[in-house]
Amino acid sequence: MKHLVDKVALVTGATRGIGRGIAIGLAEAGATVYVTGRSLNNSSSDWVSGSLSETQSAIDEIGGVCIPVQVDHSDDEQVRLLFERIQDEQDGQLDLLVNNAYSGVQAIRDAFGQPFWDCEPSIWDASNNVGLRSHYIASVFAARIMTKHKSGLICTISSWAGMSYIFNAAYGVGKAACDRLAADMAVELKPYNVASVSIWPGIVGTELFDRFASEMNQTNATEQKNSFISDRYNWETPLFTGRAIAALACESNIMRYTGRVQIVAELADKYGIVDENGDRPASLRSLRFLLPTALPVLRTYSSLIPDIKIPWSLLLLNALSSPKI
């Protein structure tokens, strides 16, 4: 359904992965979608390929409207000019910002399995410059547009790492800060009828994570500890996140969600969304995910397990002792 016709959206970091999936999901719903990234055309030097032109082609194929803009989100001036362009081209309209740009995947891959003191201190900037900081900068410029119209939604892509250890200390701190950023921006934006939420996808089978998972599984110890990764159990596609955000953006009373974490799989349940293969992956706090993760023999029968969500209070109590990915 084209619920977002006449809406203008910006997705940062949309050359591949979750960003591309979000852009496609918003275009499916009828939005005019600006997408940013450092690569206009594919570069053979990239660890995993991806470009703005490829994202534009994918959106063109579904009849959507995509406007690619080459932007390095570590450069504040380039970001300022991006929003100036959107304001000029769209007569001051910007309905949705999705903060997704992230440049820390290579650093995470290189440092995997090492304690933080054995890593170069630069891993902090690699994880949180184009990531946490760039989300803040983009939100500043988006808010200047949205508050004038007293309407808009800012979605910041975060992670379950905001609550429990995943990958490394720098990554987890950055994601926890993304959640706090979304919550605190919501306080200041609320009088202007602009919503701010944090989005938690599940285990997303991006090009990068798929390759990363394959490398993780080269050792038996890793494979045993992370078998739900090795067999791609309950994985989501990037489009699943896009469809969830598109549905959320259509909410007539979006302000009731502002300042809160929104889990992609739970938004899918609420709005009746399915992934591109027709499945609906379970939330990572659902017994439908947790029990088969602990007992792989149950995975064949996961659809028979009640989709009961573990309360947030219990998740927080268990966070320090939860399995490490």
Q: Which residue has the tokens 């996961």?
A: 302
Q: How far apart are CA 320 and CA 315, in angstroms?
A: 9
Q: Tell me the CA distances in angstroms from 44 to 98, 108, 181, 213, 291, one per residue in order.
A: 27, 21, 35, 22, 41
85 C-beta neighbours (distance < 10 Å), count: 14
Q: In sequence order, which ranges of the chain are alpha helices (DSSP H)?
A: 17-28, 52-61, 76-89, 105-111, 123-128, 134-149, 169-189, 207-216, 220-225, 227-230, 238-249, 264-271, 287-294, 312-318
Task: For residue 34, give the nearest of 42, 46, 22 by alpha carbon.
Answer: 22
Does 171 qualify as catalytic in the annotation?
Answer: yes
CB of 79 closer than 8 Å to CB of 38 = no
Q: Tell me which of 102, 171, 233, 301 is the catalytic residue.
A: 171
Cβ atoms of 196 and 156 within 8 Å: the answer is yes
Extract the tokens encoding 242. Answer: 């896009």
Tokens in use for 288? 């439908």
Give CA–CA dist 146/60, Å, rounded. Answer: 27
Distance CA 81, CA 195 (A): 23
Q: Which one, of 215, 266, 212, lies nearest residue 104 by Cα? A: 212
**Active-site residue set:** 171
